[in-house]
Amino acid sequence: MSERLDAGPDGVDVTDSLEATFVFRAWKNLFFFILILCMLLIQGIFWVTDLGLVTPPDPNGVQAALPLGSEPAVVSTSESAPGNTLYGIAPGHLDLALGLINSVTFLAAVLYCLTLMFSMMISIISRLGGIRHVCRAFFLSMIVLVFLIPWHAFLESSVLGVLFSHEDLVQSMAAKQASLHVTILYYARFCGYWVVVMLMLFVSQARLGRWSRAMQRRLEIV
């Protein structure tokens, strides 16, 4: 066993490569935890807003239909339709929180992909084993990153992403009652995408677990 760990293929020290994979595995677990936490927060903000627990005030006011010939009453905008708050959380707070969470989610996803890429490169160069599993995990992480990006905000196209602004959510809520088709698309965007990305993240972690076990078997550690 000492001979296999001291002199790896192509002059690469397998022991150093193995230690490097341990470091990358620790970091990818941290980034995975951050991603899952941010994704849960994003979905929580969606449901809090969708259920009307926190809603922005109506800037135009709400005026009921009056009999013909009567004069409409002048109602102050600030008093006509105040927004709902939950435990003192105002819509502005959700907007700021969602912007911060989106930034952290995107950065964590990028770092997660880079961590898997370096792990894959080390495994290939040092022939540590389990290449199939780490390669699949890496490509899944790339798909997750692509799904997260709000492409419509940059490309002005119909391609959407998991990340969204609070303004996008409020506008989509206003239009979701137009038809059943629009309602289905609404929940598919804000919930369906989210479920798909979460599944891919957990499948990626499962693949990395198989990679770790295959690598240990290859090096006769277990």
Give residue-wise pLDDT tens across range 36-51. Answer: 999 999 999 999 888 8
* 34 class by beta-carbon count within 10 Å (0-12 exposed, 13-18 middle, 19+ buried): middle
* Distance, CA of 195 to CA of 182 (rounded, Å): 19
Distance of alpha carbon 220 from alpha carbon 222, whole angstroms: 5
Q: What is the pLDDT of residue 10?
A: 46
Residue pLDDT, tens place only, 90-114? 677 888 889 999 999 999 999 999 9
- The C-alpha angle with vertex 22 and arms to 115 and 109, in degrees rounded to 5, equals 20
Q: Is the pLDDT of residue 150 over 90?
A: no
> What is the pLDDT at residue 168?
85
Output 217 or 123, whichever has higher pLDDT: 123
d(CA 96, CA 60): 23
pTM beyond cutoff 0.85: no
- Cβ 123 vs Cβ 131: under 8 Å: yes
Average pLDDT, the chain: 78
What lies within 8 Å, CB to CB, of 44 at 6+ separation is none
Domain boundaries, the chain: 2-58+83-218
By the 10 Å C-beta count (0-12 exposed, 13-18 middle, 19+ buried), 155 is classed as: exposed
Q: How confident is the model at residue 18 (pLDDT cuts 50, 70, 90)?
A: confident
